[in-house]
Chains A and B, each alone.
Chain A
Amino acid sequence: MAPRRILPTDLPPGSPLARRLAALGSSGRVTVEHDGAPVAAVEGEPLAVSLLAAGQLTLARSVKYHRPRGAMCLRGDCDGCLVRVDGVPNVMSCQTPARAGMVAQSQNAFPTAGIDVLRVTDWFFPRHLDHHHLLVKFGGALNRTMQVFARRMAGLGTLPDAIATFPRSEILDVDALVVGAGTSGVACANALARGGARVMLVDEREGPGGMRRDDPLDDGAYPGCDPAVMVRYGSGAVATYDDETLVIHEGRGVTVRARVRVFATGARESVGVFPQSDVPGVFTARAFALALCHGVLAGERVALVGDGLFARSIAATLGERVTHSPGAAVVEALGGRAVKGATLREGGREWTVKCDALVVDGELGAAYELAGQAGASVLWSDGRQCFVPESDAEGATSREGVYVAGSLRWGRIDHDARARDGAAVGARALRDLRGEGR
């Protein structure tokens, strides 16, 4: 059994997801190529999802041990889905919309990611490879030979096929930049715009909603943006400095100079650290849910662990197709090339489940990086067990003109609370713009 596209019989009639998929139904069917084989895809869906739907669980090989890698987070936060696309190395296929004729190839593998003989490195160093002390006790000649070999093995992709050209960049001056068009980001941008500020809102996704976009139970009725907000979807903020933020919009660089910056970048899911947590077929609950929202069932026999929003939505959508253990923790995943099962633990009891997808709704980590780059102080939170930008009641950070909003600063809170927080932070940032003090 393997991942596949959802059949009408997979879903209860009238479920929110069924409606959503019916709406998707008219999207174009295209063919892409993966390691020489044709793969049917829906135009515009993430390429990684197309490959998953075709049963391609293993897309890449890890850098050192050549362990199999597959899509894990589906939101550009991991190395799982890196392939060469149309002659460009190291493309995150989860962030790349499928287009007709696209050619994807596996990298760092011989002959392909599916069967990579270089996996022997993994078996040769069963605990780990101590590269600092590898062959230092032997003569210089042997050590030098090892270094020559190690260099040959290093790196992922090879140089691009062609010299790429890029459109001219633009520079934008605005009053406020809001990064993240989830519930709090939109509320914040709206508050700023309604107060008369020139606001730009960017998000790497193709529309608003943030995490709601990936929730199969969500009705899709995301609050809209005020028409005065300059919205750029498909635009990732990739770096922020003292006085400007770099946004990439459709391959073009946009330098945004804003008097105030609000980061509503949310939180990141992880599966946690346990033996074999990196094996293809282990997904974050959000990734599995995202694939579901594209009509792809990332496994036939699903072991679901955790009790977060995505775990609950998956369980509610798929019913008896999943074995849900809300209170369990993963002891280890089983399987060498792809997940075959997992050992779970709860309250002193340990048991093993068979599965071809292990879906974990684990602890969240605040996506603090951009706020940190902007100069906000970021500290460990014992309560949330992750690093969080320091902020006051209204989202002001230690850095003047830099604000944080939504689940970035609060962790798991509901939609209404996120919207309220976004609006409050927006109101505060507006006072800042008007020179009414911090």
Chain B
Amino acid sequence: MARVVVIGAGIMGLATAYNLAKRGVRDVLVVDRTYLCGGASGRNGGGVRAQFSSETNIRLMRESIAICRDFATEMKINVWFRQGGYLFLARSAERARALEENVALQNRCGLPTRMVDAAEMRKIVPELATEGVRAASFNPGDGVVFPWPFVWGYARAAEDLGVTIRPFTEVVGFETSNGRITGVRLRPTRLSPLDASDEVLPAGDATTEACDEVVICAGAWSPKVAALLGVALPNKPHRHEICATEPLKPWLGPLVADLTDGLYFSQSMRGEIVGGVAVDPVPEGINQQSSRRFLTTYSRALVGAVPVLAGVRVLRQWAGCYDLTPDGGPIVGRVADPTNLTLACGFMGHGFMMAPVMGRLLAEHVDTGETSELFARWSLDRFARGDLVHENMIIG
């Protein structure tokens, strides 16, 4: 019997479980279909920024960044958070204007973001080809983390507080009664030799775990899980590819992002240039397969932005899934039916960076049952009401 079953042991699920346990909630169980870091939490580029276009996101990300700064000493594991800033490039007058408006809003929220001209861009990244770049915005407080230890840090801290984490366990169904979930059907899994497929293979019989509350933090898998309860989510998985180059001595300070083609790149603590680019179209559904087309699109964009990288080599490429919603805002909070189901998904590829603060808010919501103004705005029924959210700082 679990008080709360959290589905998905990615950063969102683990941060929620950790915060639940910290609030004194006992018997929290987190399940994941594969290993820790098997989903988007283990596949993302580690970007953490407060440069958004909505006040909500800016304020939430300020808190997340503060958590990142103290994470190593608080959670006793290094996440290699490096605040080299985010440099957003604008190649059109329209984009430049949008950046300016965002900077004004970010300044009102207390961020030191500023517009920078070509000369200053080259000061920040001397190797950058600034031709065709009309303007850029720079927030020195944004940065990058190494994603994996973030996940293990939450997992270990949650376990220390009594949370049970069960990897290689998939949800195959639910038991419900009177509009409430009474149990989750769980089945052990193993990986399929055909990695890119969405399949895991059964590795035992399903059993039922009785529970009071269920939280779905399953990222791109959330619609599949919710569908088992008859809850239809408008989210769509969207493959996003990424790659890393050979390790070089440090030369690149910020994460550079170009909203025009979705290019972004930064230098990891190991010295690799890690980045991605928007590729259209992508295969339908959940797909974690790498493509040659991505490599070409990315390399052209990256070499265009930093020509000296032409001779630098790609070491490996991989893919993960963004969890996209129709309006670009996440889907968070309780639903009407079943009444003890909470959703936390649709984070548009920003889930990792938002999880530190979302974990705290979600735990509060699940524990107290109270709905904040924020969660009301991000609720699933906004799509039915037509009350959509707006965010234009989405990369890729």
Residues of A within 8 A of B (CB): 63, 88-90, 108, 131-140, 143, 147, 150-152, 154-160, 162-166, 239, 241-242, 244, 246, 255, 373, 375, 377-379, 390, 398
| Nearest Cβ on chain B to A195's Cβ, whole angstroms | 29
Q: How far is A146 from B291 in the complex, measured between Cα atoms in Å?
A: 37
Known pairs A157-B249, A164-B311, A242-B291 / 5 extra A-B pairs, C-beta < 8 Å: A90-B313, A137-B73, A156-B249, A375-B194, A377-B193
Which of B194, B247, B292, B313 sits near A155, CB closer than 8 Å? B247
> Are A379 and B246 CB-contacts (below 8 A) given A133-B78, A140-B72, A154-B271?
no
CB<8 Å pairs between A and B, sample of 6: A63-B270, A136-B76, A140-B70, A147-B269, A165-B310, A239-B292
Closest residue of B by beta carbon distance from A160 = B311
| Smallest CB-CB A-B distances: 10 pairs | A155-B271, A164-B311, A377-B193, A160-B311, A155-B249, A155-B247, A154-B271, A164-B310, A136-B76, A155-B248
> Are A136 and B69 CB-contacts (below 8 A) given A159-B308, A241-B290?
no
- Do A155 and B250 touch across chains, with their CB atoms under 8 A apart? yes
Type the 1/0 row for B252-276, where 1 means its CB is closer than 8 Å to any CB of A: 0000000000000000011100000
Chain B residue numbers with a CB within 8 Å of A241 are: 289-292
Chain B residue numbers with a CB within 8 Å of A63 are: 247, 270
- Do B78 and A160 touch across chains, with their CB atoms under 8 A apart? no
Number of A-B pairs, beta carbon distance below 8 Å: 112
Q: How far is A155 from B269 in the complex, measured between Cα atoms in Å?
A: 8
- Do B73 and A158 touch across chains, with their CB atoms under 8 A apart? no
Closest residue of A by beta carbon distance from B248 = A155
Closest residue of B by beta carbon distance from A377 = B193
- Do B271 and A131 touch across chains, with their CB atoms under 8 A apart? no
Which of A132, A140, A154 sits near B73, CB closer than 8 Å? A140
| Nearest Cβ on chain B to A349's Cβ, whole angstroms | 42
Q: How far is A150 from B251 in the complex, measured between Cα atoms in Å?
A: 14
Q: How far is A172 from B251 in the complex, measured between Cα atoms in Å?
A: 38
- Do B251 and A143 touch across chains, with their CB atoms under 8 A apart? no
Chain B residue numbers with a CB within 8 Å of A164 are: 310-311
Q: How far is A266 from B71 in the complex, measured between Cα atoms in Å?
A: 46
User: How many residues of chain B are within 8 Å of chain A by beta carbon?
Assistant: 37
- Do B82 and A132 touch across chains, with their CB atoms under 8 A apart? no
Asked whether B307 is an interface residue with its Cβ less than 8 Å from the other chain, the reply is: yes
Within 8 A of A (CB), among B278-310: 289-292, 295, 307-310
Which of A133, A152, A163, A166 sits near B76, CB closer than 8 Å? A133
Chain B residue numbers with a CB within 8 Å of A143 are: 72-73, 78
Q: How far is A154 from B70 in the complex, measured between Cα atoms in Å?
A: 22
- Do A90 and B311 touch across chains, with their CB atoms under 8 A apart? no
Asked whether B77 is an interface residue with its Cβ less than 8 Å from the other chain, the reply is: yes
Which of B77, B251, B310 sits near A158, CB closer than 8 Å? B251
Chain B residue numbers with a CB within 8 Å of A133 are: 76-78
> Are A159 and B193 CB-contacts (below 8 A) given A89-B248, A164-B311?
no
Chain B residue numbers with a CB within 8 Å of A151 are: 82, 250, 269
Chain B residue numbers with a CB within 8 Å of A398 are: 193-194
- Do A246 and B193 touch across chains, with their CB atoms under 8 A apart? no
| Nearest Cβ on chain B to A82's Cβ, whole angstroms | 9
- Do A132 and B247 touch across chains, with their CB atoms under 8 A apart? no
- Do A246 and B292 touch across chains, with their CB atoms under 8 A apart? yes
Q: How far is A63 from B249 in the complex, measured between Cα atoms in Å?
A: 11
- Do B307 and A136 touch across chains, with their CB atoms under 8 A apart? no
Q: How far is A156 from B248 in the complex, measured between Cα atoms in Å?
A: 5
Chain B residue numbers with a CB within 8 Å of A139 are: 73
Asked whether B1 is an interface residue with its Cβ less than 8 Å from the other chain, the reply is: no
Asked whether B149 is an interface residue with its Cβ less than 8 Å from the other chain, the reply is: yes
Which of B193, B196, B247 sits near A379, CB closer than 8 Å? B193
Q: How far is A244 from B292 in the complex, measured between Cα atoms in Å?
A: 8
Q: How far is A160 from B306 in the complex, measured between Cα atoms in Å?
A: 12
User: Which one of B76, B196, B311, B312 has the greatest number of beta carbons of chain A within 10 Å?
Assistant: B311
- Do B78 and A136 touch across chains, with their CB atoms under 8 A apart? yes
> Are A140 and B269 CB-contacts (below 8 A) given A89-B248, A154-B250, A378-B193?
no
